[in-house]
């Protein structure tokens, strides 16, 4: 903003429209930056705080045709309830692609979709694997399960959602975290 104002003022001065003010070029960040936490618990607190806004941006960008209600995306309202107790992965279910042993994290999201002018709230359970490398945290894989089914139906099995909107949002957030672009 300062540079733009200085440039416009110089043009105005050159045209004789206004005097050239003395502007100090000060580089100040919009917000303070922090190092990405190395502790999984601290990382999770920040990630879950920001995840709804990241996920909603991913979802909104992926949909371009909102002509019919069926194509309208839903919204992530909140992410929370983290749990860190790892589950057994079982034989052959997961093979690490990184040198670091992945950390498991469980959390839930509450999402809202609008169908026929009715708001429907959906709870999803997510199981993610994060690996900490020398340059920061990376999402390895993700599984998700729909949570609020009718009582007479069995739960859905976890689905691979490594390419879904929540996973994309996590990858973007982790990228921003590695680049020190996350607010404290």
What six digits make up the tokens of 50?
A: 């920001």
Are residues 77 and 40 part of one domain?
A: yes
The pLDDT score that the predictor gives to residue 150 is 72
DSSP per position, 156-179 = PPPEE-TTSHHHHHHHHHHHHHHT
Are residues 171 and 91 part of one domain?
A: yes
Q: Which domain holds residue 23?
A: 1-30
The 10s digit of each residue's pLDDT in 91-149 is 555 555 555 678 999 999 999 888 877 888 888 999 999 999 988 999 999 999 988 77
Are residues 113 and 22 part of one domain?
A: no
0.75 exceeded by pTM: no
Q: Report how far apart, in Å, the C-alpha atoms of 31 and of each of 1, 51, 86, 182, 183 are.
A: 15, 19, 35, 9, 7
Does 115 fall in a domain? Answer: yes
Are residues 84 and 23 part of one domain?
A: no
Mean pLDDT of 143-172: 87
Does 162 fall in a domain? Answer: yes
Number of domains within the chain: 2
Give the model's confidence band at 3: pLDDT under 50 very low, under 70 low, under 90 confident, else very high: low
Q: Is 129 exposed, middle or buried (0-12, 13-18, 19+ CB in 10 A)?
A: buried
The pLDDT score that the predictor gives to residue 51 is 95
Cβ atoms of residues 78 and 109 within 8 Å? yes
Give the CATH number for residue 145: 3.10.450
**In this prediction, what percent of the chain has a pLDDT beyond 90?**
36
Helices (runs of H) and strands (runs of E) counted in the chain: 3, 5
The pLDDT score that the predictor gives to residue 137 is 94
Are residues 60 and 3 part of one domain?
A: no
The pLDDT score that the predictor gives to residue 146 is 87
Does 183 fall in a domain? Answer: no
């Amino acid at each position: 903003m300062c540079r733009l104002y200085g440039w416009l003022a110089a043009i105005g001065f050159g045209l004789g429209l206004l005097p050239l003010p003395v502007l100090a070029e000060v580089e100040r960040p919009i917000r303070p930056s922090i190092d990405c936490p190395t502790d999984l618990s601290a990382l999770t607190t920040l990630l879950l705080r920001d995840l709804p806004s990241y996920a909603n941006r991913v979802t909104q960008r992926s949909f371009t045709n909102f002509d019919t209600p069926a194509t309208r995306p839903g919204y992530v309202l909140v992410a929370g309830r983290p749990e860190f107790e790892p589950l057994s992965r079982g034989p052959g279910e997961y093979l690490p692609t990184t040198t670091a042993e992945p950390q498991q994290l469980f959390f839930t999201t509450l999402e809202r979709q609008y169908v026929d002018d009715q708001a429907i709230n959906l709870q999803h359970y997510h199981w993610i694997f994060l690996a900490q490398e020398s340059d920061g945290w990376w999402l390895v894989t993700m599984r998700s399960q729909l949570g609020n089914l009718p009582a007479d139906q069995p739960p859905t099995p976890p689905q691979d959602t490594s390419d879904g909107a929540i996973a994309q949002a996590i990858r973007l957030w982790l990228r921003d975290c590695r680049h020190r672009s996350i607010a404290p």
